[in-house]
Amino acid sequence: MPANVSPPIDSIGFKTVNNNLQVYVNTHDPNNATHYYRWDYTETWQFHAHDASDYITNDTIIVSRTAAQDIYQCWSNDISTNIELASSAKLSQDVIYQNPLLSIPSTSEKIEIRYSILLKQYAMTSAGYNYYSLLKQNTEQLGSIFDAQPSTLTGNIHCTTNSTIPVIGYVTAGAYAMKRIYIDRSQLPDSWITIYPYTCSVDTALYADPKAHGANEVQAILIPKYNPNVIIQALTHSGQIIGYTYTDHDCGDCSIRGTTVQPGFWINAPYDN
C-alpha cells in the first residue's frame, strides 16, 4: 500500500452556530495530490467544581486545605468517536475549507474556562476513504426510515486460511499532520452560561446546634475523615468559628470527574493558538 504523507493543517477555527460552538478545520495540498482526508482528535478542558472547598478534616479536627489539596480546579479529556472525513476530489483545487469537526453546546463545561483540541490529519487513498465513508454510514447515519440501508464493508484485510470468513478492517500507512489550538471563555459570547451536571446545595453544620438540642453537628457530620461531605466555608460569630457549610462530593470535588494535575502541555496565557 502507498504511504500517504498528510499536508500540514492550515488552521483550526471556531464559530457560533445555533447556540453551539462549532470547531472546523482548514487545509490544502499545494501539489493537488491528496484529495481524501480523515481526522481524529483529543479534547482537553479546564473546569471547576460547583463550590470551592477551603477546609478538610484529618479525622480529628478541621484544617485549611493546602494548595496540593485543592479540589476546585481540574482538567479532563476525551477522544473523538465519530469518523470525520472530507474530500476535494470533485473540486478544481485540493482545498478543504471550514470542514466541521465537532459541535459543543453553549452550556457545556468543556468551554466553561478554557478548552483545547489536538487534531490529527491523515491523507487517505480513494479506497480507504470509501471504506471509512461506508463505515460512517453504517455506524453513525442509521436509525430512521429515511437513512440509507447498511452497506457491506470490504476492507483490505482478509483471512489467509479461509477466504469465506468476513473480516472487517482497513490498514493504512503514512505520516499524519498535527495541530493544537486553545479556546478561552473570553472569546465566546457573554450570554453563554454553563449548566452544572449536578443539582447542588449547601447545608450547615454547627458546633452546638440549638435546633438539635445542643447536638454537635460538626463532630457527627464533618469530622470523620471518610465522610460523604465536602467542607466549604467556616461560619463565624463575634470572631469565633461556630460551624461550617458543606456539600456532597459531586458538587465540591472536581477530581471525581477529572484530575487536579495540570497537563504538561497546558498553556495558561490567552490567545496563544
DSSP string, 69-122: G--SEEEEEEE--S-EEEE-TTSSS-EEEEEEEEEEETT-GGGSSEEEEEEEEE
Domain assignment of residue 204, yes or no: yes
235, β-bridge pairs:
243
Q: Would you tell me how many other CB atoms lie within 10 Å of the CB of residue 198? A: 13
CB half-sphere exposure, 227, CA atoms < 13 A: 22
Domain assignment of residue 67, yes or no: yes
- List for the chain the helix, strand, coil content (%; round to 5): 15, 40, 45
Task: State phi, psi for 16 to the nearest 5 degrees.
Answer: -95, 130
Domain assignment of residue 140, yes or no: no
**pLDDT of amino acid 273:** 45
Domain assignment of residue 238, yes or no: yes
Domain assignment of residue 272, yes or no: no
In angstroms and rounded to an integer, the radius of gyration of the C-alpha atoms of the chain is 26
**pLDDT of amino acid 272:** 46
DSSP code for 50: S
CA distance 246 to 200: 11
Domain assignment of residue 270, yes or no: no
pLDDT tens for the chain, 273 residues long, are: 889 999 999 999 999 999 999 999 999 999 999 999 999 999 999 999 999 999 999 889 999 999 999 999 999 999 999 999 999 999 999 999 999 999 999 999 999 999 999 999 999 999 999 999 999 988 886 655 555 555 677 889 999 999 888 888 999 999 999 999 999 999 999 999 999 988 999 999 999 988 888 999 999 999 987 888 999 999 999 999 999 999 999 999 999 999 999 999 998 755 444
CA 19 and chain centroid, separation: 18
50, β-bridge pairs:
none
Q: Would you tell me how many other CB atoms lie within 10 Å of the CB of residue 223? A: 18
Question: Residue 47's domain spans which residues?
Answer: 3-125+172-256
Tell me which residue of 35, 177, 24 sits closest to 102, measured CA to CA. Answer: 24
- Number of structural domains in the chain: 1
Domain assignment of residue 157, yes or no: no
Residue 256: all three cell numbers together:
471525581
Domain assignment of residue 146, yes or no: no
Amino acid at 93: Q
